[in-house]
Amino acid sequence: MVNIENVRKDFPMLNKRRKRDGKPLIYLDNAATTFKPRQVIEAVLSYYEDFTANVHRGIYELSQEVTNLYEDSREKIAKFIGARKPSEIIFTKNSTEAFNIIAYGLDWKPGDEIVTTVMEHHSNIVPWQIIREKFGVKLKFIDLTDDGSHLNLDMLEELLTERTKLVTLTHVSNVLGTINPVRDVIRKAHEVGALTLIDAAQSVPHMPANVRELECDLLVFSSHKMLGPTGIGVLYMRSGVEEHIQPPFGGGEMIKTVTLEGCTWNDMPWRFEPGTPNAAGVIGLAAAVDYLSELGMDWVRKHEIKLTELAMKRLAEFDKVTVYGPKNTKERGGIISFNVEGVEGHDVALLLDEFENIAVRSGLHCAEPLHRKLGVQSSVRASFYLYNTEEEVNLFCGTLEKIVNSLF
């Protein structure tokens, strides 16, 4: 059985106290980025203290050691998401870069179609808007249901055609917390021959996720949202899909041969990894995967459901607070976006910080089209993770209650 207090001891940031009053930091902005356990920090430090050398580029012992460590990390990450083999794992700078690799790697023709949703993060909208303008493709959006909590998947039959080249959507909304039935969408997309791309930035860190079970062609996620370092992301590319995607970046490592007349691509996955890689980031991400695996992703998911249920129950008691997304916590991740009637979201976030050193996000959360669909200018977002406690959730809800009572 996992002891949450022992877990919290692994995170140096949880020892942080506010200078002026000594109040502990209550960190509820995990959908933006997560704290790092000592095990990850030490793994990154070890690279710089014990293994500093470039990977894949030297036959001397140190270079071979770090190369083995780097590729062992790839294998570990592949197993974590159920990939068939390590070569299906491509390291990127972040999820945004992964989306752009696909956007600029596919061979677009005028009249090709992309289907996505109004629920997406900007990183899964803006690249396709650029592609639309550059190549004359058609961009279609799955809308929300009337309650504004789920995708209206009844639209799929009309939106999918023989011209659909790509269907891309989020697994878990970073605003609504909605867990989308991506496997159903993937199967329907495959019926018309479309490739499928899943934004798993808010799912892989928080619940069991298996790419073979999802049957997706492509999937992206970011290290910094799952206890790992910043500056490293993952693009899963199902074996065979690389035949449809050209490397959008050229340089060292991603080639087999180079002449003055041309070049030939390297094998997978290195053809999509030009230049010196973020070895420290990869090693740190592997340490994060070790940490999550030891806890168990089933436990992580159950813990977040418990915290989310507590928060949803308490927030439902506030007349002036509107919570967005599904009411059923089994249908949502540990993300709760809300607004206080008549109060700017930034003001609510500032007051939570001022009163009890509670860190939440306010604004558009890189999802402006979704906020427009909801009919709101912005929202406040509290997002939970494995080191948060029921006491922290109660303090958050109690402080919000005080704010509401003081304003009305």
Cite the active site residues: 366
Asked if 209 contacts 171 with a C-beta cutoff of 8 angstroms, the reply is yes
Q: Can you state the percent helix, strand and coil of the chain, rounding each to 5?
A: 45, 20, 40
43-49 long-range CB contacts below 8 Å, 24 or more apart?
43/283, 43/284, 43/286, 43/287, 44/229, 44/280, 44/281, 44/283, 44/284, 44/287, 46/283, 47/279, 47/280, 47/283, 47/284, 48/280
Contacts of residue 303, defined as CB under 8 A and 6 or more positions apart, other chains included, come to 2, 4, 386
> Omega of the bond prior to 277 within 30 degrees of 0, cis?
no
Residue with tokens 């590729």: 71
What is the distance between the alpha carbons of residues 367 and 166, in angstroms, rounded to a whole number? 21
